[in-house]
Amino acid sequence: MKRFTRSRVDGLSDINKVFGELPKGLGKATLVRFAKARLQPMKETAKANAPEAEGDLKESMHVGTQQGSPGQRRRRFDDKAAVEVYMGPTADGYPQAVPQEFGSINNPPAGYMRKAWDQHNQGLLTDLASDLGQAVDKTARRYAKRQARKG
């Protein structure tokens, strides 16, 4: 069985300082936009690997701030600035999503989500700090320009 590896991302403390100077809502929106863009290639791979003849599974792949399965609740964080972004099938892709991924008594596993994860997981962290830093700088510049126009 493959063990998880640890990764270290340097430079996030500087980005966090910039976030501290921005309104919370603006910082959260920047993080959500950034995370959605980072997960888009994984979504496209999962969509390409999903079985064709399984209802709306292929077309139900989604990147968003809520999980796709019916009845799931959002987690509450102590840190109000925390965000979570999910990638996977929406309610339209259920109930066939889990049996297709892991298999069932009658069907072997298809592993479309795992293939997408294996292909893209390292890329999620590659240049994370510099890319996020650029996104935050861009947001900070827009915010400063907006504030300058106001007063």
| Token pair 């430079």: residue | 11
pTM beyond cutoff 0.85? no
pLDDT at 5: 62
Per-domain residue ranges of the chain: 14-150
Q: What is the CA radius of gyration of the chain?
A: 19
| Token pair 């915010």: residue | 143
Torsion angle, CA of 72/60/121/132, rounded to 10 degrees?
Answer: -80
pLDDT at 81: 67
pLDDT at 41: 92
Q: Are 34 and 133 in contact (CB under 8 A)?
A: no
pLDDT at 14: 78
DSSP, residue by residue, 17-63: HHHHHS-HHHHHHHHHHHHHHHHHHHHHHHHHHS-TTSTTTGGGEEE
Kindly give the confidence (pLDDT) of every residue in the chain, 151 residues in length, as a single tens digit, with 9 standing for 90 and above.
556 566 666 767 777 787 778 887 888 888 888 889 889 999 999 999 888 776 678 888 889 887 755 555 556 666 666 788 888 888 776 778 888 889 889 888 888 899 998 898 888 877 777 788 888 888 888 888 888 888 6
